[in-house]
Structure 1
Amino acid sequence: MACSSRLGTVSSTSVTDLTGAADAGRGGNSGGAHHRRPDERRERLRRAAFFLLPGLLFLGVRQLGVVVLSVLSGVNNTTAPEALRSWDGEWFLGIAQGGYSGVPQGLVDAFGNRSFETPLAFFPGYPTAVRWLTELTGLSLPTAAFFLSGFFGVVTAYALMRLGSMIRGGSARTGLILVVLFAASPMGVVLSMAYSESMFCAAAAWALVFVLEHQWLAAGACTAVAGLVRPTAAAVLLAIGVAAVVHIVRKREIWHPLAGLLLAPAGLVGYLTWVGTRLRPGAGWFDQLQAWTDLQQRGWDSRFDWGVATVTFAGKALGRSGNVLEIATIAILVLALVLVVIAIKRRLELPLVLYGVGVLAMDLGSNGLMNSKARLLVPAFTLLIPIALALAKRRTSTVVLVLVGAAVASAWFGAYSLTIWQYAI
């Protein structure tokens, strides 16, 4: 008992005693530890605040967008919740509620048609997550959808913070700026909607982080998840594929990159195969993989035409008095092309360039609804990195002014697109 008591006494006082002795040896006093404790607490609080900053910045920008949307919704005889679950959001909520076979019959494709195959155009990842959250918490489907969009947006923010710190010439400041630029994307309102972009961006952004860190299995797993959410996962596959091959050639390390590379397409190829077996049972595998693309073309006239439709759209919009959304869409596409050139010239990491180019190519090269092109560019967040790097070198006042301006412009443009613009985004 005596030994136990003495050990307890020593363990509880030894740190203080040693600190006091050290202070005495330096001519200090035993109160030094007490003076340091407030400093240590302040440091811990500072670190905690900095850790929370990416998520808070993302949510703050998006909350501004929702506030502006609420104002314009009231002026235009609708509500913000109705606007945030409109268009494709109704499809995702319908799939979350009843699965692919239980989607409300009132939902139709772009031509007003509906068959058993129509809902299969929408990937299952996001509506499945919404259904799971609803079953787990009892939240309504729209509330669960909005919560998940915000949650995955925050998850994306932390990945972008990491990317901004990892790249050549990057820093924590660059990462924070990148987070705000992403949240304030021209069509950033979709990150608050019952849409799948937020979940996809989270999976894609972390896949890219893991690629740069050479964590191949984690990168492959995130890419597989992205493939269950949106077909844009093809751009992530391009990035991880080239990066893995380059790593194998340079480092002579085979198994980990190869394992990640084999895992990466599981989500995208798995869903396309599943759709193909239902639409073309008994057909060859490659024919089945094509079934989803043909479904998109039949229902939404969406197909890859190497940019012919996009150029035609731009020519018509610029050749007449185009409306705000059409002109803005063209400007956004041109800016994206310029950012690709800048990213290449400043030698941005290859996987990040390939991913951004892949997303942009799928957007520019596809026919379909032209007014969705600004929204489809939201996942091309790596193209924002050159802007973040440039702003990081400017004075704080300049950075704040630019970012606040971008957030306000994004808030208005998103609200305009959902309340004044009469067509789908």
Structure 2
Amino acid sequence: MTDLSTRLSTRVRRAAPALLGYAAVRVLGLLVLALWSAARDKSAYTLLTARWDALWYTRVAELGYGYEVRLPNGDVHSNLAFFPLLPWLERGLHAVTPLSYADAGFLVAVLASLAAAWGIFAVTDLVYGRRAGICAVLLWAVLPVGIVQSMAYSESLFTALAAWALYAVLTGRWPTAGALALLAGLTRPVGLAVVAAVWAAGIASFVRDRSAAPGDSARSPGRAPSPTGGPAPRGASAARRALGMLLAPLGAAGYVLWVGHRTGQGPLGYLDVQAGWRNGFDGGYAFARFVAEKFTSFPSALAGVGLITGVALVVWLYVVCVRQGQPLPLLVYAGVVTALALCASSYFGSKPRLLLPAFPLLLPLALALARLRTRRSVLVLGLVAVASAAYGAFWLNGSGPP
């Protein structure tokens, strides 16, 4: 117990600057949101906990599945589209505390966002060092849609599970990685990205084991996979890898199969539920058409240029990640999250929010910031944090995330 507490204390101290900086950015965002909302005679807390998807999650927590809304155009919005882990946590907290379902959702978001920040630090610190880890966390905090991290949404919870699953893979903790991937798969459809990362790393390590000389494994019987995807030990470790890979898809697969059974539509019934929301995966065709339509008039053409620039930036960052030789699990995870976000056929305004969990895309920027003098990097991050806080307040008091 003493050794465990010592290790935990050491890790907390190492991550403390990142976590304190993250908390400061989030407090700034909430403060600006509160002031902005008060000036518009709105409740900032309501915007964070009782609007848009947050309402759907609390309805699932309170009433279970089965609620749906039929729109005049014939579309059916079913709450089966929302994965169950966040509502389960809201229901559990409500049962054991005086918190309402909405309050519980906000508490989960706050705690999960801190866990996500710590996970992002742990991954980046492992691969690129402490200074880059601090910069990565702060960059994630100051994203333009960073206010979502404090909303009763599932993005923070998912990012926390994904980041720690990736850390577990990189450090050879395969059953832990599989269990976290299972939970991520119960949180959002993009949990498939975590499953893909675990499986890609597992398959690569088995292939390397098979091609490695027997003497190599014997010389390092307890060695875990390196962050760059080096060979893992044979024997019991191979069994643990297999266990992690088997656990990883059970969450997403279990929920999707349950929805298919409940709706009577078979194994792919969840896709029908998503179709009721006019959402699906079309390879980006609908998004490309949406962008093209922006060029029909001059004012909207500026928005079209902005969208193209944003997509180009995301693609460029991913290419840089590949060129920098990021570990395979990070590349697979970020690639799948990005593809699912950009190639969804609806809710185009949500794409920045859907990209929020793709934190490995920020690592090239984190490395660049880490090379600057501390005073300069603090100035850059401080200015961006203020802009992000203002944008978040403006956004939630306007159209907000759909």
TM range, normalised to the smaller chain? 0.7 to 0.9
| 1:74 aligns with one of 28, 38, 42 | 38
Q: State which structure, 1 or 2, has the greater radius of gyration over its C-alpha atoms.
A: 1
Equivalent in the alignment of 1:22: none
Equivalent in the alignment of 2:21: 57
Structure 1 portions without partners, runs of 5+: 1-44
**Cα deviation, residue 89, structure 1:** 0.7
Contact 1:372 1:424 in 2 (8 A): yes
The answer as to 2:377 corresponding to 1:393 is no
Change over 3 Å in CA distance of 1:206–1:415 after alignment to 2: same
| 2:64 aligns with one of 89, 95, 99 | 99
Equivalent in the alignment of 1:307: 284
| 1:259 aligns with one of 215, 227, 243 | 243
Within 5 A, what are the aligned runs for 1:196-235? 196-235=154-193
Change over 3 Å in CA distance of 1:83–1:161 after alignment to 2: same
Contact 2:106 2:150 in 1 (8 A): yes
Change over 3 Å in CA distance of 1:227–1:345 after alignment to 2: same
Equivalent in the alignment of 1:5: none
**AA in 1 matched with 2:47:** A
**Cα deviation, residue 119, structure 1:** 1.1
Q: Deviations over 1:196-241 (max 9, x none)?
A: 1111001100010011112111110000000000000111111111
**AA in 2 matched with 1:264:** A
What SS does the corresponding residue of 1:366 show, helix, strand or coil? Answer: coil
Within 5 A, what are the aligned runs for 1:176-187? 176-187=134-145
Structure 2 portions without partners, runs of 5+: 1-8, 211-233
| 1:270 aligns with one of 235, 246, 254 | 254
**Cα deviation, residue 77, structure 1:** 3.1
**AA in 1 matched with 2:293:** K
Within 5 A, what are the aligned runs for 1:166-177? 166-167=126-127, 170-177=128-135
For 2:28 and 2:305, locate their aligned partners in 1 and report how far apart those are by CA, in whole Å: 24
| 2:80 aligns with one of 120, 123, 126 | 120
Contact 2:15 2:118 in 1 (8 A): no
What SS does the corresponding residue of 2:279 show, helix, strand or coil? Answer: coil
For 2:317 and 2:377, locate their aligned partners in 1 and report how far apart those are by CA, in whole Å: 19
**Cα deviation, residue 322, structure 1:** 3.0
Contact 1:325 1:417 in 2 (8 A): no
For 1:250 and 1:46, locate their aligned partners in 2 and report how far apart those are by CA, in whole Å: 33
For 1:319 and 1:351, locate their aligned partners in 2 and report how far apart those are by CA, in whole Å: 41
For 1:72 and 1:109, locate their aligned partners in 2 and report how far apart those are by CA, in whole Å: 34
**Cα deviation, residue 109, structure 1:** 6.5
| 1:342 aligns with one of 303, 308, 320 | 320
Equivalent in the alignment of 1:384: 362
Contact 1:325 1:371 in 2 (8 A): no
Further displaced range: 70-79 or 91-100: 70-79
Further displaced range: 308-317 or 173-182: 308-317
The total of aligned residue pairs comes to 366
Change over 3 Å in CA distance of 1:322–1:153 after alignment to 2: same
Normalising by structure 1, what TM-score?
0.81
Contact 1:329 1:374 in 2 (8 A): no
For 2:304 and 2:341, locate their aligned partners in 1 and report how far apart those are by CA, in whole Å: 15
The answer as to 2:137 corresponding to 1:153 is no
Equivalent in the alignment of 1:132: 92
Contact 1:58 1:153 in 2 (8 A): no
Alignment root-mean-square deviation, CA: 2.3
**AA in 1 matched with 2:42:** T
What SS does the corresponding residue of 1:108 show, helix, strand or coil? Answer: strand
For 2:310 and 2:73, locate their aligned partners in 1 and report how far apart those are by CA, in whole Å: 30
For 2:303 and 2:53, locate their aligned partners in 1 and report how far apart those are by CA, in whole Å: 18
Normalising by structure 2, what TM-score?
0.85
For 2:17 and 2:321, locate their aligned partners in 1 and report how far apart those are by CA, in whole Å: 26
Change over 3 Å in CA distance of 1:149–1:329 after alignment to 2: farther
Change over 3 Å in CA distance of 1:61–1:112 after alignment to 2: farther
Change over 3 Å in CA distance of 1:409–1:317 after alignment to 2: farther
**Cα deviation, residue 406, structure 1:** 2.3
**AA in 2 matched with 1:120:** L
For 1:204 and 1:134, locate their aligned partners in 2 and report how far apart those are by CA, in whole Å: 25
For 1:325 and 1:59, locate their aligned partners in 2 and report how far apart those are by CA, in whole Å: 32
Change over 3 Å in CA distance of 1:127–1:296 after alignment to 2: same
**AA in 1 matched with 2:61:** A
For 2:146 and 2:267, locate their aligned partners in 1 and report how far apart those are by CA, in whole Å: 31
**AA in 1 matched with 2:280:** R
For 1:131 and 1:238, locate their aligned partners in 2 and report how far apart those are by CA, in whole Å: 30
Q: Deviations over 1:379-399 (max 9, x none)?
A: 111101111111111111221
Change over 3 Å in CA distance of 1:132–1:258 after alignment to 2: same
For 2:30 and 2:108, locate their aligned partners in 1 and report how far apart those are by CA, in whole Å: 15
Further displaced range: 321-330 or 71-80: 321-330
**Cα deviation, residue 413, structure 1:** 2.1
**Cα deviation, residue 314, structure 1:** 1.9
**Cα deviation, residue 100, structure 1:** 1.5
The answer as to 2:108 corresponding to 1:108 is no
Equivalent in the alignment of 2:221: none
